[in-house]
Structure 1
Amino acid sequence: MGFFTDDLGRQTVLLKPNPPILGWAALGAASFMALEQKNRDRLSAASSACLLIWAVLEVTTGRSGFRRSAGVLTLSWLWGKR
């Protein structure tokens, strides 16, 4: 198993996005378009929650070292952001 491949030798860098990362992107985009600050804040918080879920899933069930490392880096970034 390589850093960018799973146990079966398949590459794991460019995979179909999973629901939490899609939620992060959609809610993040919506937060930029919200007209009221309270809505921007709520959408941004929901977007960060989706990113947190994605990162935890990658750390715990990531198919390669690359995916697990991406999860760890994201968690550390979110931790520093709080």
Structure 2
Amino acid sequence: MGFFTDSHGRQGIAQRPNALILAWAGLGAASLMALKDENRRVLGRASTASLAIWAVLEAAAGDSGFRRTAGALTLAWLVRR
């Protein structure tokens, strides 16, 4: 198994986005378009929470070394910001 392949030998970099990544992107975009400050904050927090959950799941059980590393680096970036 290589850094970019899963246990079945399939490439594990470019995959269809899962629900958490779609939620992160959608909520993030909505937070940028929200008219009220409170709505921007709530949507921004929900977007960040979606990304954090994705990062934990990828770091713990990503299909490839690349995905696990991407999850761990994203989680580290979220903790430091």
TM-score by length of 2: 0.97
In 1, distance between residues paired with 2:9 and 2:23?
A: 29
**CA RMSD of the aligned region, Å?**
0.6
How many residue pairs end up in the alignment? 81
2:13 is the alignment partner of 1:13: yes
Give 2:49's aligned residue: 49
For structure 1, the residue ranges without an aligned partner over 5 or more in a row are: none
In 1, distance between residues paired with 2:28 and 2:4?
A: 27
In 2, distance between residues paired with 1:52 and 1:11?
A: 24
How many angstroms does 1:60 deviate by?
1.2
Q: Secondary structure at the match of 2:40?
A: helix
TM-score by length of 1: 0.96
Residue by residue, what CA displacement relative to the aligned partner does 1:32-54 show, whole Å, maximum 9, x if unpaired?
00011111010000000000010
Give 1:24's aligned residue: 24
- Any runs of at least 4 consecutive aligned residues in structure 1 with deviations exceeding 3 A, and if so which? none
Q: Secondary structure at the match of 1:32?
A: helix
